[in-house]
């Protein structure tokens, strides 16, 4: 049976290939297993949507198709729309399952108090247009400030005469692009266009730059953690796929050993 996490992970794998990242045997196996779970899903709509995606049987073929056809269906809105619907269905089922599990707990038999209510946004990020507008206006300027300081920190070594490593150069380029994308989202919020950007390019673009920057900084604990914090802010704003990436990032952050 497929899960919501499967759908999120499939998007991440496919997007990485579309961005030109090399495929790995581990990712290829994971990709094949997820597709198999989706096309054999008990939910008929999910299975049909997965089949209609016409995904290549392997990441190697997917990569080759992407290089040969820039207008591949994966780069169109068809893939995004289908995956959004699949995730909606699987998330709805996940919530139903969670409620059933809670019903089996004796504590759930107690009268529900309104003050104990938990908004979905506390674990999936802002989900309603009003929550997104509020979180974007409040949190994105903080993210931009963190990005600015991170760029200054990464460039400091270069200004001291040392060479700028390729990884840092890539990180700085992606952080600058991310800073610009977040600024454009703030403008969209002021102009009343924010809802459109959650279903079009800017939000996906920002998440993509954030992930790339974090990957480039993986060997540098403090900048890597700060890049993760920026992604966490984006997750709180309800940016799709940001949350799925954070789980792996949290496990990867190097913690100082006890002295």
Q: Which domain holds residue 194?
A: 122-252
Q: Are residues 53 and 93 in the same domain?
A: yes
pLDDT digits (tens, 9 = 90+) for 180-216: 989 999 988 888 888 877 766 788 888 888 888 888 8
User: Does residue 17 share a domain with residue 92?
Assistant: yes
Please check whether residues 130 and 212 belong to one and the same domain.
Answer: yes
Tell me whether residue 246 is exposed, middle or buried, using C-beta atoms within 10 angstroms of its C-beta: 0 to 12, 13 to 18, 19 or more.
middle
The rounded distance, in Å, linking the Cα atoms of 102 and 96 is 10
Establish if 115 belongs to a structural domain: no
Does residue 109 fall inside a structural domain?
A: no
Residues 6+ apart with CB under 8 A from 250: 228
Q: Is the pLDDT reported for residue 116 higher than 50?
A: no
Answer whether residue 33 is part of any domain. Answer: yes
- Domain co-membership, 80 together with 134: no
Please indicate, yes or no, whether residues 182 and 90 belong to a single structural domain of this protein. no
Q: Are residues 129 and 239 in the same domain?
A: yes
In angstroms, rounded to a whole number, what is the distance separating the alpha carbons of residues 23 and 12? 12
Domains contained in the chain, number: 2
Average pLDDT of the residues in 128-146: 87
* 231 and 187 part of one domain: yes
Domain membership flag for residue 112: no
CATH code of 137's domain: 1.20.140
Each residue of 58-115: pLDDT tens digit? Answer: 888 888 876 655 545 455 567 777 888 888 888 887 777 555 544 554 443 344 343 4
Same structural domain, 134 and 243: yes
Return all residues near 226 (Cβ < 8 A) that are at least 6 apart. 146, 149, 150
Distances (CA, A) of 238 to 24, 92, 207: 29, 17, 11
Question: Cα(87)–Cα(93) distance, rounded to whole angstroms?
Answer: 10
User: Residues 128, 184: one domain?
Assistant: yes
Q: What is the pLDDT of residue 175?
A: 92
Q: Are residues 154 and 213 in the same domain?
A: yes
pLDDT at 38 over 80: yes
Residues 246 and 178 in one domain: yes
- Considering 70, 102, 134, which residue would you say is the last residue of a domain? 102
């Amino acid at each position: 049976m497929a899960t919501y996490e499967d759908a999120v992970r499939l998007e991440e794998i496919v997007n990485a290939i579309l961005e030109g990242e090399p495929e790995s045997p581990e990712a290829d196996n994971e990709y094949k297993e997820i597709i198999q779970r989706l096309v054999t899903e008990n939910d008929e709509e999910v299975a049909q949507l997965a089949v209609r995606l016409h995904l290549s049987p392997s990441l190697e073929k997917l990569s080759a198709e992407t290089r040969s056809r820039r207008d591949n269906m994966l780069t169109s809105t068809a893939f995004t729309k289908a995956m959004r619907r699949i995730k909606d269905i699987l998330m709805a089922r996940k919530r139903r399952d969670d409620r059933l599990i809670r019903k089996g707990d004796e504590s759930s038999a107690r009268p529900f108090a309104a003050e104990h209510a938990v908004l979905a946004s506390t674990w999936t990020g802002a989900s309603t247009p009003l929550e997104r507008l509020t979180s974007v206006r409040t949190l994105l300027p903080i993210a931009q400030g963190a990005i600015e300081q991170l760029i200054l920190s990464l460039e400091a070594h270069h200004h001291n005469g040392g060479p700028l490593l390729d990884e840092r150069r890539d990180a700085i380029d992606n952080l600058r692009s991310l800073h610009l994308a977040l600024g454009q989202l703030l403008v969209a919020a002021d102009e009343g266009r924010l809802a459109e950007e959650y279903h079009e390019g800017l939000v996906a673009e920002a998440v993509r730059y954030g992930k790339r920057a974090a990957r480039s900084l993986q060997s540098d604990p403090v900048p890597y953690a700060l890049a993760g914090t920026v992604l966490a802010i984006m997750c709180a704003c309800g940016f799709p796929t940001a949350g799925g990436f954070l789980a792996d990032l949290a496990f990867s952050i190097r913690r100082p050993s006890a002295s």
